[in-house]
Amino acid sequence: MTELDHPVIDADNHYYEALDAFTRHLDPAWAQRGVQWCEIDGRKYHVIGGRVSRAVTNATFDPIARAGAMHDFFRGNPEGRDPLSFLAEREPIRPEYRDRDARVEVLDAQGLEACWMFPTLGMIYEELLTGDPEANCATFRAFNRWIEEDWGFSYRNRIHAAPYLTLADPDWAVDELQWALDAGARLVVMRPAAPTTVSGRCSPFDDRYARFWGLLDESGITMVLHAGDGGVSSNGYAPDGFAASFSGAWKPTIKFFAIEQAIKDYLLTMVLENHLVRYPNLRVASVENGAQFLGDLFRKARSLSHKIPGWFSDDPVDILRRQVWINPFWEDDAIEVVDHMGADRVLFGSDWPHIEGMPRPLDYLPEVKELAPADRRLVLHDNAAGLIAPPA
């Protein structure tokens, strides 16, 4: 498949944050409790909440590994290479990773109509700030002002960047969501995790968040649950923390499955709490969390529906399918995901330009070649287009 008779929207693109992304709009009074820079042995690191972070090897992203550098590893590593060898080749950071006009030119070259744009560091730093909910909110308020300034929320109707929301403070979440709506955001993004507030950890579906969910339900815009550091515990089987996922020369541990565990727990709880029934206009897109968890999620939800008759007004799987869209990993079986969710609830996302994504977004086309043309168009364009359409 080298040509299509319809446009394509990539529902999972990323920027690499500017050096001042977390500080440009941050009140200096919060500096020591937020994100700062330090230099150790000639290398720059972020200091987050007063602690040096080694969550990424080089937080400046210059130099950076090539887009899709680990494509063959995630395809199954057919040549049996040392995983770290995929990252040996580096290049200076490209303009399109930080400049929106350069990115639009790349979208043209890649054959994409538009893309959804998400953080890189922003998806893993909330966990590092959970011990200080106030600083958490202050940091991401500043971060969102940077997103608006450098990327915009619907730039030239080509780049649809999502402001990041934390539920660390229920009132802050309402205020920040209202700000995002007023600024024209088509999407908002958060990590699939139970938030930590000043009174401790709680469910995102707790009644204290009723105003937030009510506003989101009324607004009609899409909430994206994007993969990140969800704080999933290994319960002693492996070191916890995002950086520990790939420590020890990529020794396999259960940390490799933390992303799928986080989204399964979130969506299953959302269904069990009848959250989607309570907020029938809510639209939720799971992005870069994979899809292999779906079969187990469906089995568990249906099992409980039989054990507790009357709790659900309908088949819980049908309830989820009505309001949830799934972007599978590119290496997942696209046909199987469509069978689970229906073609109208599956999204294409390349994760470009991250190392675990596709070298070029449309390298994904062979994965969907067996779909019927109408279903393929839904996955590659129409579903994503509908989710970013301006609310009526």
Model confidence, pTM: 0.96
Cis check for the bond before 195: say yes or no (omega within 30 of 0). Answer: no
The whole-angstrom separation of Cα 137 and Cα 148 is: 17
- pLDDT score, position 4: 87
Contacts of 20 (CB under 8 A, 6+ apart): 146
Alpha carbon dihedral 204, 205, 206, 208, in 10-degree steps, equals 80
Provide φ and ψ at 24, rounded to 5°: -55, -40
- pLDDT score, position 250: 63
Contacts of 178 (CB under 8 A, 6+ apart): 215
| Residues 11, 287 contacting (CB under 8 angstroms) | yes
**In terms of C-beta density within 10 A (0-12 exposed, 13-18 middle, 19 or more buried), how is residue 243 classed?**
middle
Tokens of 75: 């395809």
Q: Are strands 200-201 and 196-197 parallel, antiparallel or unpaired?
A: antiparallel
**What are the boundaries of each domain within the chain?**
9-387
- pLDDT score, position 160: 98
- pLDDT score, position 328: 97
The whole-angstrom separation of Cα 252 and Cα 171 is: 41
- pLDDT score, position 275: 98
Q: 3-state SS of 224-244?
A: EEECCCCCCCCCCCCCCCCHH
Per-residue confidence of the chain (392 residues) as pLDDT tens digits? 457 899 999 999 999 999 999 999 999 999 999 999 999 999 999 999 999 998 888 999 999 999 999 988 888 888 889 888 888 899 999 999 999 999 999 999 999 999 999 999 999 999 999 999 999 999 999 999 999 999 999 999 999 999 999 999 999 999 999 999 999 999 999 999 999 999 999 999 999 999 999 999 999 999 999 999 999 988 899 888 776 554 445 678 888 889 999 999 999 999 999 999 999 999 999 999 999 999 999 999 999 999 999 999 999 999 999 999 999 999 999 999 999 999 999 999 999 999 999 999 999 999 999 999 999 999 999 999 999 998 66
9-387 CATH fold: TIM Barrel (3.20.20)
